[in-house]
């Protein structure tokens, strides 16, 4: 009998995701290489959100509009909350436009890894794209709601000031905060599934800790910089000041809020990148 030597079976190649060494946390070249996937995730998120709905994109208007009506009834009419000399409906709606975007973005972003579990467990792509896609996708809802805000300003005869030019910076700050919180909660949610049950409570608590239904003028002046540690406080007050001219532009509050927002973004992305190697195993 002839002896046949069987060559050893070659081991299957495997890909091990490890955290990057050094201070470069974000691989911008890799994100650029996967830009088409990022675009696909954004477009898919927009399409799926309103698929098989009767009102479709009108939900981008209905949500903040109906919240404004409820808050106007209870806080503006019954409680008589101060609105800094402007009609309470537009006072509240100018805050609801920013807050609705922020709350929807962090809620969707924090659940993004769970929703993309099939994709994450089968193929490799920069995991950072998953929580960032909703942050960009909800900008469409923000723009639609903002158009209604402009229409309300025309109705009430309110004209924007030169500080309106700061709106792009306020939008960037809003997105930066949503990205940092979204990445941090997404990483936590991937490992501890009970996090998703606390997100709704966190968003509701955060809303009442922000000047959505009331004015910052109700906060004693000596505590306002401490209050600005809530980054959305500076964003919302900045929106009102730039669009409605309710108070002087809150420069100091925005500086504090910007610093906190940057810190939250850095903490969020560091935690996300240090835990992403386990996502495929725990999801």
107/182 Cα distance (integer angstroms): 7
The predicted-structure confidence for 184-237, as pLDDT tens digits, reads as follows: 999 998 888 778 888 888 898 999 999 998 888 888 888 888 999 999 999 999
The predicted-structure confidence for 101-140, as pLDDT tens digits, reads as follows: 999 999 999 988 888 878 877 888 888 898 999 999 999 8
Residue 69 has pLDDT above 90, yes or no: no
Residue 21 has pLDDT above 50, yes or no: yes
Residue 12 has pLDDT above 60, yes or no: no
Instruction: Indicate the average pLDDT of the chain.
Output: 84
209/222 Cα distance (integer angstroms): 17
Tally of CA atoms within 13 A in the half-sphere of 269 that contains its CB: 19
The predicted-structure confidence for 203-217, as pLDDT tens digits, reads as follows: 989 999 999 988 888
Q: Classify residue 55 as exposed, middle or buried by CB count within 10 Å of its CB (0-12, 13-18, 19+).
A: exposed
151: Cβ contacts below 8 Å, ≥ 6 apart: none
CB 71 within 8 A of CB 213: yes
256/250 Cα distance (integer angstroms): 10
109: Cβ contacts below 8 Å, ≥ 6 apart: 131, 132, 134, 135, 178, 179, 181, 182, 183, 185, 186
The mean pLDDT value for 10-25 works out to 54
Residue 5 has pLDDT above 70, yes or no: no
* Confidence band, pLDDT 50/70/90 cuts, at residue 280: low
The mean pLDDT value for 142-162 works out to 88
**pLDDT at site 1:** 45
201/273 Cα distance (integer angstroms): 26
Q: Whose CA is closest to 138, among 161, 106, 115, 90?
A: 106
């Amino acid at each position: 009998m002839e002896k046949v030597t069987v060559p050893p079976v070659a081991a299957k190649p495997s890909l091990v995701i490890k955290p990057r060494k050094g201070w470069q946390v974000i691989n911008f070249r890799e994100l650029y290489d996967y830009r088409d996937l990022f675009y696909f995730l954004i477009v898919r998120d927009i399409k799926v959100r309103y698929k098989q709905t009767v009102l479709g994109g009108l939900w981008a208007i209905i949500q903040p509009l109906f919240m404004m009506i409820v808050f106007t009834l209870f806080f503006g009419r019954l409680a008589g909350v101060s609105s800094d000399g402007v009609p309470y409906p537009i006072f509240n709606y100018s805050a609801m436009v920013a807050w609705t975007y922020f709350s929807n973005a962090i809620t969707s972003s924090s659940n993004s890894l769970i929703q993309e579990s099939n994709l994450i467990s089968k193929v490799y792509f920069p995991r950072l794209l998953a929580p960032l896609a909703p942050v960009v996708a909800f900008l469409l809802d923000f723009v639609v709601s903002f158009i209604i805000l402009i229409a309300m300003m025309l109705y009430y005869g309110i004209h924007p000031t030169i500080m309106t030019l700061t709106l792009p910076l306020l939008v960037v700050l809003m997105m930066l905060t949503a990205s940092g919180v979204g990445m941090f909660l997404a990483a936590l949610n991937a490992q501890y599934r009970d996090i998703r049950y606390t997100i709704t409570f966190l968003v509701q608590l955060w809303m009442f800790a922000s000047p959505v239904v009331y004015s910052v003028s109700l906060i004693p002046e000596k505590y306002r910089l401490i209050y600005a540690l809530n980054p959305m406080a500076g964003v919302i007050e900045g929106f009102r000041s730039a669009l409605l001219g309710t108070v002087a532009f809150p420069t100091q509050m925005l500086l504090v809020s910007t610093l906190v927002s940057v810190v939250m973004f850095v903490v969020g992305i560091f935690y996300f990148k240090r835990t992403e190697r386990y996502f495929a195993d725990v999801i």
